[in-house]
Structures are given as structure tokens and as C-alpha cells.
Amino acid sequence: MEPRKLLTVCIVLFVFFATGVAADTSNEEMQSDLWLKAKIVTAYTLNQHLNPFKLDIEVKKGVAYLSGTVDSNVERDLAVQIAKGVEGISKVEEAIQVKPGAMAGERRESEFFRTVEDATITAKIKSKLLWNRNTKGLDINVTTKNAHVTLKGKVATAVHEDLAVELAKNTPGVERVENELVVSPQAGKVKENGTLQKMETKANDAWITTRVKSMLLFSKETQGASIDVSTTEQVVTLKGTVVSDEQKEAILKMVGDTEGVKAVRSQLVVEKG
């Protein structure tokens, strides 16, 4: 089941159990309108044909009242039959409207936001690979579809390969990384004395600060930390709080590996919850 659907079911069940309708209550309470509504909502959420639609359910004295919109008569009938099949429901009154393509607009909107999110993930990973002094210049192609990232290209060593994969995995929003990288000793040498190097030598303190802030923002490892970044003559100073010694060490290494950074001064304080 998709995480969002599972979360919906959990929330529904939690809310109704929290109201006092628990497993050890009497049969009369179990058949209350509140509990009957919870069972119908859960059944709709778990049904792959009905969970895309917004269906409103009310139960009064054992009678279920259904409303909302679906794409076809079949889906409307299915909603009615599922409600009728819930033990304790004596009657079903439905006012469900059938509008072909009712969910098309919402699906297109969802697809649009997914595409934007995937593009954002790709941009974050490409930036991290470019800004890390150990992976800059490597010919790595990054693509993202439904939060699943694929890395293709050539890297100089197996260590570079592992680093690229870890940088991708530790990017917020990434659910899975497919590694299709090939180890080639010649990888990364083409740009060593080319355009990329000339661009990097122009990096000033403000640019380094922006780069470090972005690296921290683009990493899952910084969750829970609050860090201020400043740079003077390519020396980065970090002030703020972190949640553990391990997180502190990971952040210092990440910043130290950022292209353009000569040294890192830490004024980070560990605040354990």
C-alpha cells in the first residue's frame, strides 16, 4: 500500500479508537454510528478503485449516507455495495454524482507536482556532485522518476562510485538509488585543466558560504541541526547546534569536502534531546 494511503487508514483508526471505541468495548458501542463510519472510511481507503475519489460518509442510527463524485456508475455501485456489506449498516442512502474524468484534473496536478519534485531532486544531487571536491568533474548523469534516482556514467575508482551513491541517497526526497556507474581510471581527467577548473578558481567567500548552506540543506544528515555559516578567506565557520557527536562529525566532513573550502572552524554545540 502507498505510504499516504496507509497513513490515512492509520489516522482514521486512531481517531476512532481514541474516542473510546476500543476493542474491549461492549457490542453496543462497537455498532455505534462513529464506529460504523470508521469501518466504511477504512474500506474505501483500502480499495484501489475508490481511494482516488473524495467520498463523504455519514452514519446516523445505522443508516449510511454517501455523497461525493466518481468517474462511473460502476464505481458508484461499488461504493454502495461496500457500505451495505459493513456489519451494522441497516440501509444505505446515496447521492454520489457520476462525472466522467472527475479525477483527471487532480491526477494531472499530482503528476505535475511529482515532475517538479523529481526535477528538484535531480538538481540537488547534481549540485552536490559538482560541489564536492572528490566528485567534481566526473561524468555522471542523474535522472529521477517518482523519487527513484538513477546514476549513470564513469567514475575514477570504486571509492568515487560509493561516494556518488551516498551523496544521492542522503538527499531529501530520494527513496531509492539505482547505481549504473562504471569504474574507469580515466574518468574525471578531461576537465581537470579545462573550463571547470577556471570557474572554480573564481569562487569567493560569499559563493562558498552559499554553496555550504546548500550542501547542508540538501542532506538528510543535517536533520534537526541549526547551523549558521560564514566564510572568511575560504575558511568556513560553523555556529549552532547539532543533535549528536556523530552528526557533528558528518557535517564537518561534508563541509570540509566542499570545493573551495580551505578549512573549517567549528563552534557547533551538541544538544541531545
Residue 143 clears pLDDT 90, i.e. is over it: yes
| CATH number of the domain residue 232 falls in | 3.30.1340.30
* Same domain, yes or no: 50 and 88: yes
How much is the pLDDT for 20? 42
pLDDT band at 52; cut points 50, 70, 90? confident
pLDDT band at 9; cut points 50, 70, 90? very low
How much is the pLDDT for 104? 57
* Same domain, yes or no: 171 and 233: no
Structural domain span for residue 29? 3-102
* Same domain, yes or no: 124 and 76: no
* Same domain, yes or no: 30 and 88: yes
Q: With helix as H, strand as E and coil as C, how does 37-59 read?
A: HHHHHHHHHHCCCCCCCCEEEEE
d(CA 203, CA 98): 60
The neighbour count for residue 31, using CB atoms within 10 Å, is: 14
In a domain, 242, yes or no: yes
For 245-257, what is the mean pLDDT? 93
Number of domains in the chain: 3
Residue (of 185, 187, 116, 186) closest to 151 by Cα position: 187
* Same domain, yes or no: 18 and 87: yes
Query: What mean pLDDT, rounded, does the chain reach?
Result: 81
In a domain, 197, yes or no: no
How much is the pLDDT for 1? 43
* Same domain, yes or no: 97 and 156: no
Residue 172 clears pLDDT 50, i.e. is over it: yes
The neighbour count for residue 160, using CB atoms within 10 Å, is: 19
For 163-190, what is the mean pLDDT? 87
How much is the pLDDT for 192? 43
* Same domain, yes or no: 66 and 27: yes
In a domain, 213, yes or no: yes
* Same domain, yes or no: 15 and 94: yes
Residue 39 clears pLDDT 80, i.e. is over it: yes
pLDDT band at 26; cut points 50, 70, 90? very low
